[in-house]
Amino acid sequence: MNTLTPLHTERTTTAMTGRRVLGAYLQEIRAECLRYLRSPSFVLPSMLFPAVFYLMFAVVLGARQSADAPRFLLAAYATFGVMAPGLFGFGVSLAMERDNGLLTLKRALPMPPAAYLLGKMVMAMLMSLMITLLLQVLAITLAGVSMTAVQMLRLTVVCTLGALPFCALGLLLGTLVRGHGAPAVVNLLYLPMAFLSGLWFPLSLLPPLIRGLAPIWPSHHLNALAQAAVGFDTGNPWPHVLWLGVFTVVVCAMAARRLRRHG
């Protein structure tokens, strides 16, 4: 008489060690940064757009302005420059990757869920760092701006970390729009937000209604911190820091909720 012995299969789960998790994050950050740094269509406009504006208004037309104008424009165009990596490199790419299925593939891979988003955030901060350093070189060598090492370091830190609110905003936009329409939608927000925040002209030159609406934009608060970094008195910096921090957390939470629901 034959006896059949059932085959019992035991389900086992293997948790990733802390070292493997860290390695997954680092590999995703490296891949994301290399992907964009190897894309001239993203890197060159992001780097050159604020630099060309600065050369036009601070260097070529600088002789017709006050002595403080090149320093003011350095902070303003640094703010303008760091908006783009978060809005375009994060928001537009996320919308396109949702459309072409790359985001679905990323979710199926054995990697920490947050690694994808962290990689894009680090990429945006790296681009912001490069833009800020380039503008400082132009300001010191061509526009005759005099800055201490502390001011240069402070502006660099402010603008590099200042990319985070725009990453959050780009993340939210990437969950709201389709890939083919994302560049147009981001441009409709990017350029008006810069103008309404007083980046191209001092707020004192704008109509009272626009001045009253300026504090709702994250670019206004980042510009205030950047102006303070280069030596202008913009008052107590902590309300601006708090506003940007709350904005980043709230918008990230909204975007994360949409990603969980709609992918």
Decide if 121 contacts 255 (C-beta within 8 A).
no
Q: Which pTM was predicted?
A: 0.86
pLDDT of residue 4: 47
Smallest CA-to-CA distance from 124 within 181, 170, 69 is with 170
Show me where the domains of the chain are located.
21-262
Instruction: Inform me whether the pLDDT recorded for 108 exceeds 90.
Output: no
Closest to 85 (Cα-Cα) out of 5, 192, 162, 195: 162
Q: How far apart are CA 178 and CA 64, in angstroms?
A: 45
Is-contact 171 90, C-beta < 8 A? yes
Q: pLDDT higher for 237 or 16?
A: 237
pLDDT score recorded for residue 158: 97
Report the percent of the chain where pLDDT is more than 70: 88
Rg for the chain (alpha carbons), in Å? 22
User: With DSSP H G I counted as helix, E B as strand and the rest as coil, what are the percentages for the chain, rounded to 5?
Assistant: 80, 0, 20
* List of E strands, 83-241: none
Closest CA to 122 of 222, 254, 226, 30: 30
